[in-house]
Amino acid sequence: MISKRSSVHGQWSSRWVFILAATGSAVGLGNIWRFPYLVGENGGGAFVLVYLICVVLVGVPIMMAEILLGRRGRQSPINTMSILAAEEGLSQYWQLIGWMGVIAGFIILSYYSVIAGWTLAYIFRTGAGAFIGADGGFSKNMFTELVSDPEKLLAWHTIFIVMSVVIVSRGVKGGLEIAVKFLMPALLILLLVMVGYAMSTEKFLEGITYLFVPDFERLADKNFFADILLPALGQAFFSLSIGMGAIMIYGSYLSQKSSITFNCFTIAIADTSVAMLAGIAIFPIVFTYGLEPAGGPGLIFITLPIAFGQMPFGTLFGTLFFILLLFAAWTSAISLLEPAVTWLIENKNMSRIKASTFAGVIAWTLGLVTVLSFNHWAFSFSFAGVDKENGFFDIFDILTSNILLPIGGLLIAIFAVWRMSRKSTAEELGLGDNISYRAWRFSVRYVAPFGVIVIFLNAIGVFKLLGFVEQ
């Protein structure tokens, strides 16, 4: 029998609001710079095809499992796993899935807020015309000056945390729902405006070619496993916000009548589309102005500002671009804060405002470590053969992205199909015991865990040690 539980925190008013919210959680800063760069550097259209296969076989099935668990338990990830374990006659140690997700999401929020603070700073800098006529040296110095100043980083970090706390404190319908109804359409409109501008640049076709047309000469020099499959698999998993509690808690607010399968494929399509549009908007501008399409923060905070300083109406479009980034970061941040807030409400009898404030203060305090990681507390170390320069920030990133999230995703898959009864999952998905359900079950039982294990082993450097990936 389908669970009749209801969430004490409320429910999304429609499936489309849930899709907007979950897409907002999935779409973040990484979609805007990392995915387009991976596409361009790893075979264009060939990489996109492999990525989409990984999304279908690994990302979507585990996302379906996480939403399934959230909707069946209807509480915070920690309490949901406790309830479902008891319902299936299993050990309460399965609560660890919830704890890992909440802790990982909370740590990610603490440093994500600092990076989002850079975006806030650049909205005002670009709007004030700071990059007009700027060259590479000026742009790099401005970015270095920002991250080396802990007081400025602290100020922007504080503002962003407050913005996130305000939204979460207003509840599901009064805060989260209103926010995603505004932020996600606004993000799409801003992205389309940027794409429209990119279409007017001289190198628009070159940018499209770089992104989507397979370059077989470049592919000939690449290792399929190391240069295409591993990056595609990792991006497919992390891009959908799997394993950090956000999707599980959003699933707990989903109507019982709403199709999990339809929702998950729609979210995956929307998430990928935003990433594609970001590439279409960014790379024609980069090529038109003769800039280096390097990935990472350098592309966003050093390379692109040079282009905005040279192009017609660059101040306007540059400001719009950083507002776009802010919206992407904001929708992700509120989803990272929500799981911890719901647990505090359920277990500590706090009001939502008090729980949001308390969780926000802890995330803000932990974020101080990241603030100082770029200046006073910076130190270098090597992990999995890669040199790291930003101390505790890199440690937090490695702990969450390389360890907690893959293990959390693997445990979600194991619980959903190896420990949870077939009857329970079939009921919750609403598929019956048909070919669609059997395909999902096979994927989550065998294909997705294998994919996550590969991601985990690569993330901790095992493949480099064995020689499958170059040092």
**Does pLDDT of 1 surpass 60?**
no
The encoded tokens of residue 364 equal 């803000």
Radius of gyration (C-alpha) of the chain in whole angstroms: 22
Model confidence band, residue 41 (pLDDT cutoffs 50, 70, 90): confident
User: Using one digit for the tens of pLDDT, what is the confidence trace for 390-421?
Assistant: 999 999 999 999 999 999 999 999 999 999 99
C-alpha 129: how far from chain center: 30
How far is residue 57's CA from residue 39's CA, in Å, rounded to a whole number?
19
Between 99 and 388, residue with greater pLDDT: 99
What is this structure's pTM?
0.94
Between 461 and 154, residue with greater pLDDT: 154
Model confidence band, residue 38 (pLDDT cutoffs 50, 70, 90): confident
Mean confidence (pLDDT) of the chain: 92
Question: Which of 54, 57, 27, 53 is closest to 276 using CA atoms?
Answer: 27
User: Using one digit for the tens of pLDDT, what is the confidence trace for 261-297?
Assistant: 999 999 999 999 999 999 999 989 988 988 877 667 7
CA distances from 19 to 51, 88, 170 (A): 21, 29, 20
What is the length of the chain? 471
Position 340 scores a pLDDT of 97
Kindly state the DSSP code that residue 386 receives in the 8-state scheme: E
How far is residue 235's CA from residue 392's CA, in Å, rounded to a whole number?
23
All domains of the chain, ordered by start, with CATH? 15-371 (1.20.1740)
Torsion region of 383: left, alpha or beta (phi above 0 gives left; psi -120 to 50 gives alpha): beta
Residue 365, classified by CB atoms within 10 Å of its CB into exposed (0-12), middle (13-18) or buried (19+), is exposed
Position 3 scores a pLDDT of 63
Between 218 and 383, residue with greater pLDDT: 383
CB 37 within 8 A of CB 220: no
Q: How many CA atoms are closer than 13 Å to the CA of 323, on its beta-carbon side?
A: 19
CB 393 within 8 A of CB 374: yes
User: Using one digit for the tens of pLDDT, what is the confidence trace for 313-358?
Assistant: 999 999 999 999 999 999 999 999 999 999 999 999 999 999 999 9
User: What φ, ψ does residue 449 adopt, rounded to 5°?
Assistant: -60, -40
User: Using one digit for the tens of pLDDT, what is the confidence trace for 101-143?
Assistant: 999 999 999 999 999 999 999 999 999 999 999 888 999 999 9
Model confidence band, residue 303 (pLDDT cutoffs 50, 70, 90): confident
Q: In three state form, how does the secondary structure of 176-232 look?
A: HHHHHHHHHHHHHHHHHHHHHHHHCCCCHHHHHHHHHCCCHHHHHCCCHHHHHHHHH
Position 2 scores a pLDDT of 59
**Does pLDDT of 184 surpass 70?**
yes
